[in-house]
Amino acid sequence: NKRVKIKHLLESGKVGEQIILMGWVRTKRSNKNVSFIALNDGSSINNYQIVADPAIISEDILKSITTGACIKVTGEVVASQGTGQSTEVQASGIAILGEADPEKFPLQPKKHSLEFLREIAHLRMRTNTFGAVFRVRHALAFAVHQYFNDKGFFYIHTPIITASDAEGAGETFKVTTLDIKNPPLTDKGTIDYKQDFFERETNLTVSGQLEGELAAMALSEIYTFGPTFRAENSNTTRHLAEFWMIEPEMAFYDAEDNQDLAEDFLQKVISYALSNCADDLEFLDKRAAEEDATKKAEQRSEMGLLQRLKFVTENRFERITYTQAIDILKNSTPNKKKKFNYLIDNWGVDLQSEHERYLVEKHFKKPVILTDYPKEIKSFYMRQNDDGKTVAAMDILFPGIGEIVGGSQREERLENLNQRMDELNIPKDEMWWYLETRKFGTAPHAGFGLGFERLVQFVTGMGNIRDVIAFPRTPGNAEF
């Protein structure tokens, strides 16, 4: 197979080279003497031009070269007569690998709405927008592994099926092999999970953190990067039922070390995309600008996509405590009609996304690391601060996204952890293995979770999280 990729031809194609190209036809323009075919093989956002001479390529073949068809082209790289590109291919032979009936193929060359494309998720990767999104997504995943590998972190694979609910939010998907219409029952009439595959109740993981902590207590610095599942019924542009999370966990890190790592990590992976996905990001930048232009003036972004990405990589994030954030919100008047000051005397409430957006987009105009939340609104494993009211938590808020990272220093003191689990009625006997890490050689440690799709959304400028994962899982949607 001597096939070359279009990316290679665009970057280093040499006039006179004999090549084989395979790809999908985007458009064809013909006149009596010649046909020009724009071919794309997914290696680049840019198409490559094929010149087909009707004296060489039969009329039957030319007729089948329609938008969406897959073809194999044999030919010679020649200097291009046109202005769009420096070289093109003069075809000596074209074979049709797969036709695409123009009457039926839905991706004809015109603008399609993202809503329509979501309904044809099996084909939408063949568009410029989705090709760009998935190449950028790949680059970011690669950058994540490269970043941690360079720092000596080890990639741990944590289980997908577990018996615990790490976040304690009760939003798990059950896993069972029992006949759910007619399950075996105990004497008390409850479902007898002893007869289930794992001989206990199990669910899909909501986070790899707890197992990650066990690994950090042996290998010092680790990270996970895997699918996580949440049965929260949130139909928003930021929530998926199945999403990918990156969770580093580090022994001997305190809360500040954790913040430093998270900030550096985010800046480095975004920089990687900026320097390795220039063509795709330029395309997405234009796309975002066009979309922005259709919005009302007050909803438009202050910066373009590329400008925003550069800004985030070049400026320190703001770091404030929850208590400081509440003070800012109390004194704010984001617009004339609406005040957020209902938070007065309400220290302890969780922030709504409108509060987060106000802090990031209006007040600081940069990413914000919010720390030291009230313990009541955070998970059991977070380290209690000396004030007895707050925990060493951090959330990182990004413009246009809101929360992108959640993390904390962990409660490494057995007594405090036991007490907190009792207060929250978390069954300690089921978590005996977690508690043992505090019994045997416990150590200060910290970690965080980055929602990968929210990062991809930020970098690609896509407004809906359903458009940055190939086959999104949301309430009522698991077709493809």
Applying CB under 6 A, which residues contact ligand 4AD?
A: 166-167, 207, 209, 230, 232, 239-240, 243, 245, 247, 403-407, 447-449, 451, 453-454
Task: Please report how close the Cβ of residue 451 comes to Mg ion at its closest, in angstroms.
Answer: 9
Q: How far apart are CA 476 and CA 190, in angstroms?
A: 28
81 neighbors 64 (Cβ within 8 angstroms): no
Residue nearest to Mg ion (CB): 406
Does 461 contact Mg ion by CB under 5 A? Answer: no
Task: Please report how close the Cβ of residue 337 comes to ligand 4AD at its closest, in angstroms.
Answer: 30
Listed in sequence order, the DSSP H helices in 294-413 are 305-314, 322-330, 353-357
With 0-12 / 13-18 / 19 or more C-beta atoms within 10 angstroms meaning exposed / middle / buried, residue 299 is exposed
**Choices 71-79, 170-178, 291-299, 406-414; region in contact with Mg ion by CB under 5 A:** 406-414
**Which of residues 50 and 394 has its CB atom nearest to Mg ion in the complex?**
394
**Which of residues 193 and 448 has its CB atom nearest to Mg ion in the complex?**
448
Q: How far apart are CA 73 and CA 35, in angstroms?
A: 13
Task: Decide which of ligand 4AD, Mg ion, none touches 318; Cβ closer than 5 to 8 Å per partner kind.
Answer: none
Does 451 contact Mg ion by CB under 5 A? Answer: no
417 neighbors 381 (Cβ within 8 angstroms): yes
Does 406 contact Mg ion by CB under 5 A? Answer: yes
Q: How far apart are CA 234 and CA 246, in angstroms?
A: 21
Task: Please report how close the Cβ of residue 243 comes to ligand 4AD at its closest, in angstroms.
Answer: 4
Q: Residue 106: enclosing H or E segment and its boundaries?
A: none
**Choices 199-207, 371-379, 382-390, 400-408; region in contact with Mg ion by CB under 5 A:** 400-408
Task: Decide which of ligand 4AD, Mg ion, none touches 23; Cβ closer than 5 to 8 Å per partner kind.
Answer: none
The string of DSSP letters for 387-401 reads: TSSBBSEEEEEETTT
Q: What are phi and psi of 87, to 5 degrees?
A: -130, 165
CA 101 to the chain's CA centroid: 34
Task: Please report how close the Cβ of residue 266 comes to Mg ion at its closest, in angstroms.
Answer: 16
**Which of residues 39 and 262 has its CB atom nearest to ligand 4AD in the complex?**
262
238 neighbors 406 (Cβ within 8 angstroms): no
Residue labelled with tokens 């925990």: 391
Task: Decide which of Mg ion, ligand 4AD, none touches 211; Cβ closer than 5 to 8 Å per partner kind.
Answer: none
Task: Decide which of ligand 4AD, Mg ion, none touches 312; Cβ closer than 5 to 8 Å per partner kind.
Answer: none
User: Per the structure block, which two tokens stand in for 152?
Assistant: 């000596």
**Nearest partner of 322 among 367, 377, 402, judged by Cα:** 377
Indicate the residue type of 229.
Answer: F
Task: Decide which of ligand 4AD, Mg ion, none touches 147; Cβ closer than 5 to 8 Å per partner kind.
Answer: none
Count of CB atoms situated within 10 Å of the CB of 433:
11
390 neighbors 375 (Cβ within 8 angstroms): yes
The strands making up 202-204's β-sheet, listed across from edge to edge, are 161-162, 202-204, 174-175
**Which of residues 249 and 285 has its CB atom nearest to Mg ion in the complex?**
249
Task: Decide which of Mg ion, ligand 4AD, none touches 411; Cβ closer than 5 to 8 Å per partner kind.
Answer: none
**Which of residues 75 and 406 has its CB atom nearest to ligand 4AD in the complex?**
406
Does 407 contact Mg ion by CB under 5 A? Answer: no
70 neighbors 58 (Cβ within 8 angstroms): no
**Which of residues 130 and 225 has its CB atom nearest to Mg ion in the complex?**
225
Does 447 contact Mg ion by CB under 5 A? Answer: no
Task: Please report how close the Cβ of residue 412 comes to Mg ion at its closest, in angstroms.
Answer: 21
Task: Please report how close the Cβ of residue 381 comes to Mg ion at its closest, in angstroms.
Answer: 13
Does 449 contact Mg ion by CB under 5 A? Answer: no
User: Site size for Mg ion, by CB under 5 A?
Assistant: 1
Q: What residue ranges bind Mg ion (CB under 5 A)?
A: 406
